[in-house]
Homo-oligomer: A and B are copies of this chain.
Amino acid sequence: MDHDTASRTTLIRSASDAGSRVFETILTRSPISRIDIARQTGLSQAAVTKAVAPLVAAGLVDAPPASHRDGTPGRPVSPVSIVLEAMVMIGVKVNVDEIIAVATDLGTTVLASERRALSSDDPHSVIESITEIVEDLRTALGDSASAIAGVGVAVSGDVDSSTGVVRESNIMGWADVPLGDLLQERLPWPVTLENDVHALTIGEHWFGVGLGTASFAIVTIGRGIGSGLHLNGEVVSGAFGVAGEIGHLPLADPTLVCPCGRRGCVEAAASTGAIETAVSTALGRTVTIDEAVALAHAGDPDADGAFREAARLIGTAIATLVNLTGPEVVIIGGEGVSDFDLFEKTLRDAFEAHAFGAAVRCRILTRPHTFEDWARGASAAAIQSLVR
C-alpha cells in the first residue's frame, strides 16, 4: 500500500459509527445527495456534512459542483459519489481444483482476473497458489496496484470469518485450518476470509439485486445447492456455522441417498450431478450435464423429467425457506442457472403451491453467476470488512 491507500484505510477504519454508515451509504447508493444520505441513515444533515468532508479530502468521495437543474425551486442538490478507483480490492474464490482471483474497484467491477489450477488441496499449497495469483494480479494492475487495500478469500464450508479459521470444509477436506492468519503472514494487505455463499450474499446485498432490501436470500444451483440468508440486515451464520443448507432439506424421495449420507436431500435429486446420474441411468449410458440440457431442450422425456423433478424440488425448498424466514427477495444464482428456462415454470409453480399466505409476494429473481462472480463476492466481503 502506498501512502494514500494506507491513510484512506485508516480513515475508514477509525470512522465513527455515523461516519461509516455515511460511507456505506455513499458506497452503495452513489451518486446520492447529502440530504438523501441523512434520510437513509436517520442522521441530521449537519452530521452528514461533517462526515462527508474528510472522505472528500481523502479522495474517497467526489463532490462535484451542482449541475443538475430540474426546474424545481430551491438550491439544487449536489450529489456526492464514491471514487470507484480510490481503492482496489482483490477477491479470491478457492475451488477444489482451481483458484479464481479478480481485482476490482470499490463497485466490484473487475479490473483484472486470473485463474490457476490447483495441484493439491493441501492448505500450504493453496496458500502458495493464492500468493502467486495475487502477485500475478499485482503485475497485471500496473500502476494501480498501489491502490490495493485488501484481499477477500471465499471458501466453501464452515468458515469463521471473525477469526479467519476454516472450521470445516468437506470439499477441500479441511478442518480447523487458520487460513486467514496463514495468508496474512504472506500478504501485506488485510485478509478477509468468508464462506463462499456468504460472500456472494454480501456482494448482492451491497452491489446487486439485494440492494436496499432488509432481508433476502440467495440460492445457488450447481454442483451443490446452497443458500445465503440476510435477515434484519445481517448475515445469518448459524450458531454452529451451519445455515442456509437448503440443499440438504429432506424434501426428495427418501429412497435417494445423498452424497452426504442422509436420505431424501434436495441435492440428491436436483444438483447437476444428480441430474446427470438420473438421465444416465434412464438412458443406460453416461450423460454429461451439457448433454442432458441438450436432450431436455430436444424434448427427451427422461431428461425433461429429471429437470422437472429438480425444479419442483428447488421450488418447494424455496417455499420452505420463505415460509420460515420471510425474505423480501430470493435470488437464484450459481452456475446452474444458465439453463434456467428448463427450470422456471415448474419451479415457480411449486413455489406458489407451497408458499404460505402473503409469502407468495416474495420476488424470485434469477442471476446467473460465473465463477468470476464468486470471486467478486469475495472482493465485496473484503470491502465490507473494511467498512465495518
Contact = CB atoms under 8 A, between A and B. Distances in A.
A146 interface: no
A239 interface: yes
A244 interface: yes
Interface in A203-229: 213-215, 227, 229
B328 A359 contact: no
- Of A232, A322, A357, most B-chain CB atoms within 10 Å: A357
Interface string A261-276: 0111000000000000
Interface stretch (A26-34, A36-44, A69-77, A246-254): A246-254
Nearest to A215: B239
Contact of A239 (B227, B236, B326, B356): B326
B215 A356 contact: no
A379 to B, nearest CB: 24
Interface string A327-339: 1100000000000
B158 A326 contact: no
Nearest to A237: B326
A240 B262 CA distance: 33
Contacts of A167: 358
A324 interface: yes
A260 interface: yes
A56 interface: no
A132 interface: no
- Enumerate the 10 nearest inter-chain pairs by beta-carbon distance, A residue then B residue, closest first: A238-B326, A243-B326, A240-B358, A239-B328, A245-B323, A242-B359, A248-B356, A245-B356, A250-B354, A232-B234
Interface of A: 158, 167-168, 213-215, 227, 229, 231-232, 234, 236-246, 248-251, 260, 262-264, 316, 319-328, 353-354, 356-359, 361-362
